[in-house]
Amino acid sequence: MTSELFSPLTLRSGGVLKNRIAKAAMEENMADDRQLPDRRLLSLYRRWAAGGTGLLITGNVMVHAEALTGPAGVVLDEHAPLHPFSEWAKAGKFGGGAIWMQINHPGRQVTADMPGVVWGPTDIGVNLGKHSGRFGKPTAMTAQQIQETVARYAVTARRAEEAGFDGVEIHAAHGYLLSQFLSPLVNKRTDRWGGSLENRARMLLDIVRAVRASVSPSFAVAVKLNSADFQRGGFDADDARQVIETLEPLGVDMVELSGGSYESPAMTGRPADDRTQAREAYFLDLARDLVRTSPLPLMLTGGITRRVTAERVLDSGVSVLGMGTALAVTPDLPELWRRGREADRTMRPVTWSDKALASAAGMAQVRHQMRRLARGRATKPGTHPAIALASEHRKQRRALRNYRTWLATSRATSQAAA
């Protein structure tokens, strides 16, 4: 069978992906002490760019300096200098592929020790049982805060284009702010942003319109969307189908399908739904259903590690396959596939029964590999998850001190200029 894996894909905005393999977003948490990309991120993305992917999607770049998913998060707002981002874009294009910036706002998914704001559609906090105290208590966003946030996404997208990125991906999955607005479990608003799916999707659609209006027609705009939240009564596949249909006339190039949230971390391979228990391509069953009706090209991310699985995903009608962990372990996996080879190592599995801790440990393992790649070292996927988690906690504490200092200085500067 002739595979489409290494065939190009022309996007509706005119850009061309050289093949159907994308490095999906993984939160690197490698910003410097000014919340900017530094040499580590440049080195990491050169490694991936040389490995044969058609598209690199960055980890979270935050649109609001006071709302970060982690203390070492990268911020691109109206005040950030562009040069570090231009260098990042160049690094991502090193191998002839495209690079998109994932842009995001965490909403209520902000840890309790972080300064800044914790916002949500309502004041319903993250429910992680005994771990719920790890997250801050959210306040319901006002209409003005919603409108200002829409504008922030547009500013970040425009500046990403100015820096040389080929596109942006608006993150509306994994329980972050836009996913929170889409979820009937979290969004209990009674105004124009709550109730019906049309209202719950309003903020996302307004952001897409604002972003598309602020960038050139040839600049790609994508959306990352949950195929399902995997929570009873939550955002489901039928909701996803309707949202994809409403995105089509707004100039969106592609929708990436994933699933889950911190409360139900299906995206890390620990799904709460029995339809996703397969070890690879967690969300393929749901994607097959959505492909039949989708007016937009779909990208599927979640657990793909072998070429045979990648072929199966493309055979289902999905246009692009996204890989995260597999490329954190084997950055040149696409090039290996091209030569008829497979990866010879996989990440050590996390078998802990505590779902929230296991999810955190899994993400720590991935970051451990990315940091090794950024230092020019070989990956070490056999690292024990407890060791990776402990190391991550130490790095997060240092980053938190830096972020507090930076944010306080930024606030003082803004007040002085006002």
The larger pLDDT score, comparing residue 226 to residue 140, is at: 140
Q: What mean pLDDT comes out for the span 354-372? A: 92
CB atoms within 10 A of CB 120: 25
Backbone angles phi, psi at 205, to 5 degrees: -65, -40
Q: What's the confidence (pLDDT) of residue 289?
A: 85
What is the fold of 9-417? TIM Barrel (3.20.20)
Which of 9-13, 79-83, 265-269, 366-370 bottoms out in mean pLDDT, i.e. has the lowest?
Answer: 265-269
- Nearest CA to 204 among 250, 164, 137? 250
Specify the pairing of strand 220-226 against strand 9-10: unpaired
Return the HEC string of the chain.
CCCCCCCCEECCCCCEECCCEEECCCCCCCCCCCCCCCHHHHHHHHHHHCCCCCEEECCCEECCCCCCCCCCCEECCCCCCCHHHHHHHHHHCCCCCEEEEEEECCCCCCECCCCCCCEECCCCCCCCHHHHHHECCCEECCHHHHHHHHHHHHHHHHHHHHHCCCEEEEEECCCCHHHHHHCCCCCCCCCCCCCCHHHHCHHHHHHHHHHHHHCCCCCEEEEEEECCCCCCCCCCHHHHHHHHHHHHHHCCCEEEEECCCCCCCHHHCCCCCHHHCCCCCCCHHHHHHHHHHCCCCEEEECCCCCHHHHHHHHHCCCCEEEECHHHHHCCCHHHHHHCCCCCCCCCCCCCCCCHHHHHHHHHHHHHHHHHHHHCCCCCCCCCCHHHHHHHHHHHHHHHHHHHHHHHHHHHHHHHHHC
Is 50 exceeded by the pLDDT of residue 118? Answer: yes
Lowest mean pLDDT among 230-244, 289-303, 402-416: 230-244
pLDDT of residue 288: 85
Q: For residues 152-161, give the mean pLDDT.
A: 98
What is the tens place of the pLDDT at every residue in 191-247?
999 999 999 999 999 999 999 999 999 999 999 998 765 556 678 889 999 999 999
**Amino acid present at 291:** V
In this predicted structure, what is the pLDDT of residue 268?
A: 46
Amino acid 264: pLDDT: 52
In the predicted structure, residue 356 carries a pLDDT above the cut 70:
yes
318-335 pLDDT, tens digit per residue, is: 999 999 999 999 999 999
φ/ψ of residue 148, rounded to 5: -65, -35
CA distance 95 to 3: 22
pLDDT tens by residue, 18-48 = 999 999 999 999 999 999 999 999 999 999 9
SS (H, E, C) 87-113: HHHHHHCCCCCEEEEEEECCCCCCECC
Query: Mean pLDDT across the stretch 289-294?
Result: 91
Other Cβ atoms within 10 Å of 109 Cβ, number = 25
pLDDT at site 315 = 92
Residue extents of the structural domains in the chain: 9-417
